[in-house]
Amino acid sequence: DVRRKFGQGVYGQIASVGKSRLVNDIAKEPNLTPDDLFCPAISAILAVPFLRRGEVLGLICAFKDEPDKFESNHISLFDSVAEHLAIAFENARLFEETKMMAITDGLTGLYNKRFLLERIDMELARAGRNHKNLSYLMMDIDNFKHYNDTNGHPAGDALLKEMASLIKSTIRQTDIAFRYGGEELVVLLPDTEKHGAIEIAEKLVKVIHDHPFMHR
């Protein structure tokens, strides 16, 4: 339940420096705070940061209930574990990034058509199992080709980004927005019947109508 900022307390200091630290007797460590001691039995602390590309991702900490019980080989052991752990974290992060890139539209940040086709099957099945409603909004931007021809494609891209941001900030947390393709956008509304979907659609129309888009 304790969170530390960089430089705060003994763990925050170790993280900010990025180097292993051995406190073999906590009675001789002036920078320890009561929150640094997670239980009364702690008498010695070994803290080893794990880093990737120079960034501290976290600390591995070990404790002894008597002072002067850690040895130099313990630091070597934990350094080795920390190195493997950092690689595992980095691989997991890269996997998540790659997965997100595969299902996300690069321009708007909305989910893409590929993910929509997967997700709608899942939501239909879930709605059927739980006897729930599922609604689906599909929209396109009026006169978008004319807007692009008149103002240029960079302006059109900026408009799409702005539109995506408006949609995401207007729909509920449980709703899911997608870019279907071109200027076509989709919102899935789980657990929502027709009347509720119309209300959300009308709210979206008003927000978009009132927004001061460039070149509108």
How far is Cα 99 from Cα 24, in angstroms, rounded to an integer? 44
| DSSP sequence for 37-93 | -SSTT--EEEEEEEEETTEEEEEEEEEESSTT---HHHHHHHHHHHHHHHHHHHHHH
C-alpha 111/C-alpha 52 separation (Å) is 29
- Active-site entry in 183, 184, 193, 199: 183
Q: What are phi and psi of 47, to 5 degrees?
A: -125, 125
Strands (E), the chain: 21-23, 44-52, 55-64, 134-140, 176-181, 184-190
| Main-chain dihedrals φ then ψ at residue 45, nearest 5 degrees | -130, 135
**Is 55 an annotated catalytic residue?**
no
Note whether 178 and 187 are within 8 A (CB): yes
Q: CB–CB of 147/214 below 8 Å?
A: no
Measured between alpha carbons, how far is 60 from 190 in angstroms, rounded to an integer?
Answer: 41
Catalytic residue numbers, as ranges: 183
